[in-house]
């Protein structure tokens, strides 16, 4: 099965929740490019690549030039300070990698008891999340 979200749908959700505009565009089959306007710096681009999926964990790599790791680390620390539950959901790893433990999110964990995440990939307009339902009855 597949869940398909357009970039504009995701951008609107992010804007509603955070008040930030983060335009997205296709960067490759497993890569999306996100831009953000930073005061005094102009636009900063961040390429996020889905490196793999293990259970409900998603491993991402990121790149975009000097200072990206510093800004990402600051954003993650701010998110964790505002929401302590994020401590179990996001981990910055060596080599510009990020581990998202989606199953540790209390809003998402019930979903992961019913599905197995297979892949996350992109096309020109959308983010696709492939999954298989788990058998509910034997």
- Among residues 65, 67, 86, which one has the least CA distance to residue 77? 86
The residue extents of the domains of the chain are 2-133
Q: How far is CA 122 from the centre of its chain?
A: 12
Per-residue pLDDT of the chain (138 residues; tens, 9 = 90+): 999 999 999 999 999 988 888 899 999 999 999 988 777 777 778 899 999 999 999 999 998 766 677 777 787 888 778 877 777 888 888 888 899 999 988 888 889 989 999 999 999 999 999 999 987 655
pTM flag (> 0.85): no
Q: Quick one: CA dihedral 112, 116, 118, 124, positive or negative?
A: negative
């Amino acid at each position: 099965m597949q869940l398909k979200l357009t970039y504009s749908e995701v951008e609107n959700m992010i804007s509603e929740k955070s008040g930030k505009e983060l335009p997205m565009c296709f960067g490759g089959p497993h890569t999306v490019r996100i831009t953000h306007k930073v005061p005094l710096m102009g636009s900063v681009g961040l390429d996020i690549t889905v490196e793999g999926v293990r259970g409900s964990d998603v491993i991402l790599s990121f790149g975009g030039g000097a200072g990206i790791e510093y800004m990402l680390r600051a954003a993650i620390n701010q998110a964790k300070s505002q929401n302590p539950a994020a401590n179990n959901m996001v981990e910055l790893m060596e080599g510009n990698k990020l581990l998202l433990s989606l199953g540790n999110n209390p809003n998402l964990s019930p979903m992961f008891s019913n599905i197995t995440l297979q892949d996350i990939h992109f096309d020109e307009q959308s983010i696709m999340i492939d999954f298989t339902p788990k058998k509910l009855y034997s």
